């Protein structure tokens, strides 16, 4: 296994998967044609699991119909849907970085689009998703109506680089009930609102969260419904956001200063690769990237590490499947693995 690079599903309910069967496991060297000498995985041995299971893989995620319970349109290209997925799946979708594949046209299997979960209401068994009608797949999803159905496959968990550390922190602070709440900064733009809301929900009781939101591609009512009231810089309000304009160089510089100037436990940036690179480079140059959480903007198609749509080559010429490969934000930036 490569350092800073492990499969987000390793040791979980979907492991071993198709990749183990095909001799291309991302975590286990033995299941990828090698030996144990270079194995860095410290969890349950994937090869043993596979052998003891009679070389049968765990059942993958199934595609299923889910009911559209609510729909709210914000403009012609933007809507929020509530989907009834059941309590078990809603619980799994409550983890930061969760996303699902949604499909409007049941006859065209390749029309599944990866969509971030914005909120999970576990008691109701609902998840809320933000749909931006960008192209054919997402425009078809926008036509879904209350009372109708969509096809859903998931959930998948690799929507954030550094998301694993975020979850570990959340679970640990829940167990230990620490009195001191650390500071978390979230910077989001456009559809980055969805993972931002999910992270804020997850960390709400455990951290002081400051949300900076660029609403250039969002309506005011969408921002208000999901990010809360507009707040002023530095105000301690859990259900508020501070509006920012990332296209303004002056504001970007102020945000860089803010990122460098405080003792943030996590800095989360959910925006295009251009902005991930912009702010990431500034933090890297200051050695302040330790707990950076970045949106996974790679093109995802199967989400299972099979189709290769998300593959990139790292500096050593090794292929990485970014739908499965979990790494921290610093590794992603320092190895030049962003597109932007
Ligand atoms: S999306 Fe198919 S391999 Fe990653």
Give the domain CATH number at 199. 3.40.50.80
Indicate whether 179 and 308 sit together in one domain: yes
How far is CA 306 from its chain centroid?
19
85 and 147 part of one domain: yes
Q: 297 and 164, same structural domain? A: yes
Where does the pLDDT of residue 128 fall: very low under 50, low under 70, confident under 90, or very high at 90 and above? very high
Q: Is the pLDDT of residue 129 over 70?
A: yes
Looking at residue 5, what is its pLDDT?
64
Region 188-214 average pLDDT: 95
Yes or no: say if 65 and 149 are a contact pair by the CB < 8 Å rule. Answer: yes
Mean pLDDT for the stretch of residues 332-339:
81
pLDDT at 233 over 60: no
What pLDDT is attached to residue 339?
62
pLDDT of amino acid 262: 81
pLDDT in tens, 111-124: 899 999 999 999 99
Q: Which two tokens stand for residue 73?
A: 């349109």
Residue 259, phi then psi, degrees to nearest 5: -65, -35
Q: Is the pLDDT of residue 221 over 90?
A: yes
Question: What is the Å distance from ligand 1's center to 6 Cα?
Answer: 15
Residues 223-251 have a mean pLDDT of 82
Last residue of a domain, one of 60, 77, 109: 60
End-to-end CA distance of the chain: 26
**Looking at the domain assignment, is residue 339 inside a domain?**
no
* pLDDT > 80? residue 234: no
Is 322 in the same domain as 179? yes
**Are residues 121 and 263 part of one domain?**
no
Same domain membership, residue 270 and residue 147: no
**Statement to judge: residues 191 and 77 lie in one domain:** no
Has residue 2 got a pLDDT over 80? no
The total number of structural domains that make up the chain:
3
Say if residue 76 is in the same domain as residue 199: no
* This prediction's pTM: 0.92
Ligand 1 atom closest to 308 (CA):
3
pLDDT above 70 (res 4):
no
pLDDT score of 154: 93
Is residue 330 domain-resident? yes
Give the mutation target among 112, 301, 337 for probing the ligand 1 site: most ligand atoms within 8 A of CB. Answer: 301
pLDDT digits (tens, 9 = 90+) for 312-329: 888 788 888 999 998 888
Testing ligand 1's pocket by substitution, the residue of 321, 325, 326, 337 carrying the most ligand atoms inside 8 A of its CB is: 321
Q: Quickly list H helices, the chain.
A: 18-21, 46-52, 87-93, 136-142, 163-176, 193-203, 220-227, 249-261, 273-285, 329-334
What pLDDT band is residue 238 in, cutting at 50, 70 and 90? low
Q: Distances in Å between the alpha carbon of 254 and those of 47, 93, 246, 251, 331?
A: 49, 34, 10, 5, 25
Q: Categorize the per-residue pLDDT at 131 as very low, low, confident or very high, splitting at 50, 70 and 90.
A: very high
In a domain, 340, yes or no: no
Q: Is 24 in the pocket of ligand 1 (CB under 6 A)?
A: no
Answer yes or no: is the C-beta of 19 below 6 A from any ligand 1 atom.
no
Distance 159 CA to ligand 1 centre (A): 13
135 and 200 co-located in one domain: no
- Out of 156, 183, 215, pick the residue that ends a domain: 156
Residue 269 CA to ligand 1 center (angstroms) comes to: 23
Secondary structure percentages of the chain, helix, strand, coil, to 5:
30, 25, 45
Provide the strand spans (E) within the chain: 6-7, 63-75, 78-84, 99-103, 113-121, 126-132, 149-156, 160-161, 183-189, 208-214, 229-230, 240-243, 264-270, 292-295, 311-313, 319-321, 325-326
Query: Does 100 reside within a domain?
Result: yes
**Sign of torsion, CA 224 229 256 322?**
negative
**Would you say residue 275 lies in a domain?**
yes
List, in order, residues 6 or more apart from 324 with CB less than 8 Å away. Answer: 7, 8, 9, 19, 26, 158, 304, 305
pLDDT recorded at residue 53: 85
294 in the same domain as 237? yes
Decide the pairing of beta strands 311-313 and 319-321: antiparallel
Confidence of residue 3 (pLDDT cuts 50, 70, 90): very low
The residues facing 187 across adjacent strands are 212, 269
CA-nearest residue, atom 3 of ligand 1? 305
Q: Do 146 and 252 sit in the same domain of this protein?
A: no
The range of the structural domain enclosing residue 44 comes to: 1-60
pLDDT at 251 > cutoff 50 = yes
Residue ending a domain, choose from 134, 156, 178: 156
Phi/psi of residue 316, each to 5°? -95, 5
Classify residue 234: in a domain, yes or no: yes
Ligand 1 centre distance from Cα of residue 296 (Å) = 12
Residue 1 covered by a domain: yes
Confidence of residue 240 (pLDDT cuts 50, 70, 90): confident
Q: Mean pLDDT over all residues of the chain?
A: 89
pLDDT of residue 290: 63
Domain CATH code at residue 95: 2.40.30.10
- Mean pLDDT of the 278-297 span: 86
Decide if 97 is inside a domain: yes
Q: Percentage of the chain with pLDDT > 90?
A: 57
Higher pLDDT, 159 or 38: 159
Same domain, residue pair 201 and 125? no
């Amino acid at each position: 296994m490569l350092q800073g690079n492990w499969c987000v599903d390793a040791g979980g309910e979907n492991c071993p998967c198709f990749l183990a069967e095909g001799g291309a496991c991302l975590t286990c060297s033995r299941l990828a044609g090698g030996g144990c000498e270079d194995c860095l995985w410290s969890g349950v041995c994937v090869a043993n699991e596979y052998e003891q299971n009679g070389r049968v893989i765990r059942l993958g995620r199934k595609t299923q119909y889910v009911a559209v319970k609510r729909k709210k349109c914000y403009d012609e290209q933007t809507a929020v849907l509530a989907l009834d997925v059941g309590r078990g799946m809603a619980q799994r979708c409550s983890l930061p970085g969760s996303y699902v594949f949604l499909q409007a046209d049941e006859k065209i299997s390749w029309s599944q689009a990866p969509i971030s979960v914005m909120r999970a209401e576990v008691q109701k068994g609902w998840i809320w998703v933000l749909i931006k009608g960008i192209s054919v797949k997402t425009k078809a999803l926008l036509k879904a109506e209350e009372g109708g159905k969509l096809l859903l496959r998931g959930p998948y968990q690799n929507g954030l680089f550094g998301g694993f550390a975020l979850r570990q922190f959340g679970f640990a602070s829940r167990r230990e009930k620490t009195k001191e709440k650390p500071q978390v900064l979230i910077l989001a733009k456009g559809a980055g609102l969805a993972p931002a809301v999910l992270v804020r929900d997850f960390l709400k009781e455990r951290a002081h969260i400051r949300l900076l939101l660029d609403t250039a591609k969002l309506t005011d009512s969408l921002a208000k419904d999901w990010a809360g009231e507009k707040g002023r810089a530095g105000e301690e309000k859990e259900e508020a956001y501070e509006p920012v304009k990332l296209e303004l160089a002056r504001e970007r510089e102020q945000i860089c200063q803010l990122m460098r100037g405080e003792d943030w436990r996590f800095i989360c940036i959910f925006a295009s690769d251009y902005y991930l690179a912009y702010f990431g480079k500034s933090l890297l140059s200051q050695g302040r990237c330790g707990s950076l959480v970045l949106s996974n903007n790679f093109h995802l198609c199967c989400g299972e590490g099979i189709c290769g749509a998300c593959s990139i080559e790292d500096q050593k010429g090794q292929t990485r499947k970014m739908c499965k490969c979990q790494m921290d934000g610093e590794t992603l930036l320092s190895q030049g693995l962003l597109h932007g």
